[in-house]
C-alpha cells in the first residue's frame, strides 16, 4: 500500500512541490512504491486529514526566509496532540507573475496566497503600485482569476503556469533571490518509526509551551534552562493563546536531540516553569537532491 501525503492544493502549489520532492526522496531511500499525493483546500485541512488517519503524512510550510513563520501550521500543531514532526526539508522559492498581457500598467489586481504577496511586496509596490493585492487560499487557486483582458494577474510558480497553460510575464519577482521555505513532514505519533532518519543529519527538536502567569520575567526562566545547558535555540516565537488578550504560546526550535540526557534534563526542569508543555518532535533536515524549485 502506497504512502499517502496531504498538502495544500490544488496542483501547482509550492506545498505540492515540497511533497513531490519528499516523495522522490522517500522512493529512493526506501525502495518502496511512490507515495500518493492528496491535495487539500487549506493547510489546516491537510494536517487534520493526517490527524484523523485519512492520510499518513502531511507536508506543511512552517517558515519562510522573507515572511517568517506560517502561523496556521504552528497553531494547528498546538491544537492537535496526535501529530508529531518527523522530518523537515527546505524548498527554494521562485515566484513568477502570470497574466495575459505584457503591459504592467494595465494590471489592476494581483491574486495569490498571502505568503507570496508578502514575499513580493517590494517588487509589487515598485512595479505595480496601481494594483490591488487580493489574498486567496493558494497560489494555484489564484490562477483561475487571470482574465483575458489582462487586468488581473497572479503570483505562483513556473510549474503552476505550465500546468494551467498560462503566460509568464515576469520571473523571479520575490524581494530576495535566496527566498526559501522550510516544510515539516508530519505524521501521527504512532507512525514515527515507519521511516528511518537519514544518517549524519543535524537533529532539531521543536516544542511549545504556555506560561502559568503573564508577569515580568516569566519567560526568562524557561530560556535560562536551555542557556544553562548550552542548548542553542535557533528560533523562538510567540503566538496568541486564543484564550485571552496578552496570553501567549511560545514556539521553540532547539539544536539538540530529544533523547540526549542534556535535553531530557531541560524538559524535566521546564515542566515546573510552564503551564502546558508540548514536544512536537525531534527530527532531521533531509537533503533533497534535484528539488523542484520552479
CB 66 within 8 A of CB 179: yes
Q: Which residue in the block uniquely carries the three cell numbers 489586481?
A: 109
Three cell numbers written together for 284: 532531521
**What is residue 113's predicted lDDT score, i.e. its pLDDT?**
96
Residue 294: per-residue pLDDT: 32
Query: CB atoms < 10 A from the CB of 132, how many?
Result: 11
Residue 21, C-alpha cell as written in the block = 520532492
Select from 34, 20, 23, 63 the least CA-distant residue to 292: 20
Please, what is the Cα angle at 183 between 182 and 187, to 5 degrees?
Answer: 150
Residue 169: the pLDDT is: 97
∠ at Cα 102 (96, 103), nearest 5°? 115
Q: Give the per-residue pLDDT at 221.
A: 93
Helix axes 261-270, 220-228, angle to 10 degrees: 160
Q: Let me know: does 2 contact 35? Beta carbons within 8 Å.
A: yes
Q: What is the mean pLDDT of each run of 10 residues along the chain (294 residues)?
A: 94 96 92 95 97 97 95 96 95 97 97 97 98 97 96 97 97 95 92 57 93 85 96 95 87 95 96 96 81 38
DSSP string, 161-226: HHHTT--EEE---SSSTT-EEEEEEEEEGGGGGGSPPPTT--EEEEEEEE-S---TTTTHHHHHHH
Which residues of the chain form CATH 3.30.70.260?
Answer: 203-283
C-alpha distances out from residue 225 to 126, 141, 259, Å: 46, 45, 17
Domain ranges in the chain with CATH number 3.40.190.10: 4-91+179-192, 96-170
Q: Dihedrals φ, ψ of 152, to 5°?
A: -125, 130
Q: Check residue 233 and give its pLDDT.
A: 97
Q: Please tell me the class of the 96-170 domain.
A: alpha beta
Say how far apart CA 184 and CA 279 lie, in whole Å: 14
**What's the CATH code, domain 4-91+179-192?**
3.40.190.10
* Cα of 194 vs its chain's centroid, Å: 22
Look at residue 29 and give its three-state secondary structure.
helix
Q: Please write the tens of the pLDDT for every residue from 181-226.
A: 999 999 997 654 545 555 677 899 999 999 998 778 889 999 999 9
Task: Give the integer Cα–Cα distance in Å for 70 and 138.
Answer: 13
**Fold entry, domain 203-283:** Alpha-Beta Plaits (3.30.70)
List strand residue ranges (DSSP E) for the chain, in order. 4-8, 36-40, 57-64, 68-69, 83-92, 96-98, 109-112, 132-135, 152-156, 168-170, 180-188, 203-210, 233-240, 248-254, 276-284
pTM of the prediction?
Answer: 0.92
Amino acid at each position: 500500500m502506497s504512502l499517502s501525503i496531504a498538502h495544500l492544493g490544488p496542483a501547482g502549489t509550492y506545498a505540492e512541490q515540497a511533497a513531490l520532492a519528499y516523495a522522490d526522496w522517500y522512493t529512493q531511500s526506501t525502495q518502496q512504491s511512490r507515495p500518493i499525493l492528496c491535495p487539500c483546500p487549506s493547510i489546516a485541512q491537510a494536517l487534520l486529514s493526517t490527524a484523523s488517519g485519512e492520510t499518513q503524512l502531511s507536508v506543511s510550510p512552517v517558515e519562510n526566509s522573507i515572511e517568517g513563520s506560517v502561523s496556521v501550521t504552528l497553531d494547528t500543531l498546538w491544537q492537535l496532540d496526535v501529530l508529531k514532526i518527523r522530518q523537515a526539508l527546505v524548498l527554494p522559492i521562485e515566484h513568477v507573475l502570470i497574466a495575459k498581457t505584457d503591459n504592467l500598467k494595465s494590471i489592476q489586481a494581483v491574486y495569490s496566497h498571502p505568503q507570496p504577496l508578502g514575499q513580493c511586496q517590494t517588487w509589487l509596490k515598485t512595479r505595480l503600485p496601481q494594483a490591488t493585492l487580493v489574498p486567496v487560499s493558494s497560489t494555484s487557486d489564484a490562477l483561475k482569476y487571470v482574465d483575458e483582458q489582462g487586468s488581473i494577474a497572479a503570483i505562483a510558480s513556473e510549474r503552476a503556469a505550465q500546468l494551467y497553460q498560462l503566460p509568464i510575464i515576469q520571473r523571479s519577482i520575490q524581494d530576495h533571490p535566496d527566498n526559501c521555505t522550510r516544510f515539516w513532514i508530519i505524521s501521527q505519533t504512532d507512525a514515527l518509526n515507519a521511516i528511518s532518519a537519514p544518517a549524519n543529519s543535524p537533529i532539531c527538536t521543536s516544542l511549545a509551551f504556555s506560561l502559568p502567569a503573564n508577569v515580568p520575567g516569566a519567560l526568562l526562566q524557561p530560556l535560562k534552562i536551555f542557556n544553562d545547558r548550552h542548548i542553542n535555540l535557533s528560533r523562538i516565537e510567540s503566538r496568541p493563546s486564543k484564550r485571552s488578550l496578552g496570553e501567549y504560546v511560545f514556539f521553540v526550535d532547539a539544536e539538540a536531540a530529544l533523547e540526549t540526557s542534556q535535553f531530557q534534563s531541560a524538559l524535566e526542569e521546564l515542566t515546573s516553569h510552564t503551564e502546558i508543555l508540548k514536544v512536537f518532535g525531534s527530527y532531521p533536515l533531509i537533503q533533497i537532491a534535484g528539488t523542484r524549485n520552479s
